[in-house]
Amino acid sequence: WPSGWNPSNTGPCPNPPDPTGNTGGEQFWNCVDLTIEPASPLDTPAPVPVPPPVQPVTPYPSVAVDETCDVDLQMSIRLGYYNSESTCNPIDVTNIDVTDYTHVVYSYAAVDDSLTMQPTSTDDVAEYAAFITTLSGNAVPMISVGGFAQDNNLFSQAAATETSRSAFAASAVTFLQTHGFEGLDVSWEYVTSSADYGNFVFLIEALRTALGDEYVLTATISLDPEIANNYDYLATSQYVDWLNIKGFETTPSTLLEASSDLETIQNNID
Most confident range (mean pLDDT) of 28-32, 92-96, 111-115, 227-231 is 111-115
Residues 6+ apart with CB under 8 A from 158: 111, 115, 116, 164, 165, 167, 168, 203
CA atoms within 13 A on the CB side of 186: 31
User: Backbone phi, then psi, for 248, in 5-degree steps?
Assistant: -100, 170
- What is the average pLDDT score of the chain? 79
pLDDT score of 68 more than 70: no
36 or 213, greater pLDDT = 213
pTM of the predicted protein model: 0.69
**Of the candidates 243, 260, 242, the residue with the CA atom closest to the CA atom of residue 251:** 260
219 pairs with which residues across the strands? 186, 243
pLDDT interval class at 148 (50, 70, 90)? confident
Read off the pLDDT of residues 126-138 as tens digits, 9 standing for 90 and up: 999 999 999 999 9
Mean pLDDT of 101-119: 96
Read off the pLDDT of residues 153-196 as tens digits, 9 standing for 90 and up: 999 999 999 999 999 999 999 999 999 999 999 999 889 899 99
pLDDT score of 63 more than 70: no
User: Backbone phi, then psi, for 118, in 5-degree steps?
Assistant: -140, 160
